[in-house]
Homo-oligomer: A and B are copies of this chain.
Amino acid sequence: MADNPVLVEVLRGEHVESRHRGAFVAMDGDGTTILSAGDLERPVFPRSAIKLIQALPLVESGAADHYELTDSELALSGASHSGEPGHVRTAAAMLSKAELTKNDLECGSHWPFDTGASRHLFCEGEEPNALHNNCSGKHAGFLCTCRQQGWPTGGYVGYDHPMQEAIRDAMTALTGAAHGPDNMAIDGCAIPTYAIALTAMAKGMAAMASGKGLGKERAAAANRLMSAAMAEPWHVAGSKRACTLMMQAGAGRLYIKTGAEGVYCGILPELGIGFALKCEDGTTRASEAMAAALVAKLLPDGDPLAQRLSAMARTPILTRKGDVVGEIRPTAALA
């Protein structure tokens, strides 16, 4: 296996303290590589970074129309949200439209990513439930699809359930990569995840952007989901989260989504470009810097959005008293 280059370095004073390696690729709708670095063929679990594609069956089936899902609800169906009260309410509303409850969710529960939300829950003597799971919107979308399609709602996370078959079919069609038992493992929210090449992920994102080769209905569904996420970026992640901040800065010019273990996928709709990246060690601080720097590099020189994202790619390191003593920054390979 080829070594991945160092894409992000952590400085303390004038010295490099830590290093993060990674790989990335950006492609257009014709499958032409625009920019890349590192080992692109090593299989990578996209995890939550391809939630937009996992939400296609919700729209294509007609379930999104049947339940009159709003942009916020569609955005949440492709979210890794922070478990803030607004996220929890939106997930509950989606389930309610399908006459289901949090007890139908099979994602398990965890404390909200948002520290404030967790602390408030704790102070009220409560425990988190499945609605607080960062994937509850995605699972609510699955359940809406199952209900509208007449599939069993129990066991919808299983490999052989029609819900997971539909996701697998969409992923295979958009990425061109095989999805089956050989490259499958189980994601944190209990559904299957499949290790594929970064090039396949970028190809899938470029297809979502351009609609090329998808057919009219799928292309429309892709566009609707992407537009909803860009219109409601807080519902895709949450307060102070990188995906939300980058899409807010993008103001309709950037779709971007992270996945666990340092993955990012995204779309520049104006340019018809899809991209994917993986930080080799799975660290969030590094994948965030890589994502912001990569988007800045893909945009035209002098674009104000590129300047904003270049600034977001650099994070000062502070002492506990607040003095700046270092920086997280992209290396020359990305800057």
Contacts and interface: CB of A to CB of B under 8 A. Distances in A.
B3 A320 contact: no
Contacts of A18: 261-262, 280-282
Stoichiometry, as copies per complex, reads 2
Interface string A263-302: 0000000000000000011110010000000000000000
Contacts of A43: 15
Given A183-B15, A185-B326, A282-B17, A320 B133 contact: yes
A207 to B, nearest CB: 24
Interface residues of A, number: 48
A150 interface: no
**Does more than half of chain A's interface fall in helix, strand or loop, or is it mixed?**
loop
Nearest to A182: B14
Given A119-B122, A190-B323, A321-B108, A10 B261 contact: yes
Given A18-B281, A45-B17, A109 B185 contact: no
A176 B186 CA distance: 49
Interface in A304-332: 319-323, 325-326
Interface of A: 3, 10, 12-15, 17-21, 43-45, 106-110, 118-119, 122-123, 133, 183-190, 193, 195, 261-262, 280-283, 286, 319-323, 325-326
